[in-house]
Amino acid sequence: MEDVRTYAGRAGSREVVSTATLLGQVMFLVGVALAFLVAGSYIGRDLGQGTAFTLFLVAFGMLIAQSFVERLRVGTLAIGWLYAIALLLGIGIGPALSYFIANDPSAVTQAAGATALITVGMGAGGFALSKDLKAWMRPLSFIVLIAVVISFAMLLFSSGGNPIISAIIAIVSALLIAVNFNYLRKHGTAADAVWIATGIFVSIVNIFLSLLNIFGD
């Protein structure tokens, strides 16, 4: 029997949504956010390091704001907020990504391929796991928020960074993907779509940056 959940809307109405529908909504949001990330990386390919880092910090601040403001997690404004974060993150990583594409394109290809495999594997594992991982969501989310700054800084200001730190960051981010998919199946409602998509998107970016640090050594 198809898993169906409801939630009370702001006007007191109730929207019925199946797990399959919610999964489709979340992955659509993630896909569009990744498209904005790619577009941003092209726009910001010629920026200086200082400007790129400043825009990245703005995006990070927007992520923090989303964690505390409900209106930035639910509804049309939240969707626009997610896409703005993705665009700014893309602009921020643009110069570093442009450097790797020009000087070490195989590192970009390997990092992108490995990120896709990890995302699919951890997503499927978390979705299928019978154990409820909800308790891990908040601590892992805060760890990943901090980790994305570390991985970006290593990418932008050092030659490849520390592979051990990068590996740890990638592992934690992969775990959060599993937790997000597990939460989606067990507890998710339509009101959760944007912030679940944000968590998955940020984890994907974090894994990619960490692997780029590793493969770029």
Domain membership of residue 181 (yes or no) is: yes
Residue entry with tokens 């599993």: 178
Cα 149 from Cα 140, distance rounded (Å):
15
Give me 89's structure tokens. Answer: 């993150």
Q: How many domains does the chain have?
A: 1
* Structure confidence by residue, pLDDT tens digits, 94-119: 998 998 899 889 999 999 999 999 99
Domain membership of residue 1 (yes or no) is: no
Domain membership of residue 4 (yes or no) is: no
* Structure confidence by residue, pLDDT tens digits, 36-95: 999 999 999 989 888 888 898 899 889 888 888 888 888 899 999 999 999 999 999 899
Give me 29's structure tokens. Answer: 């949001």
Q: Which domain holds residue 159?
A: 17-215
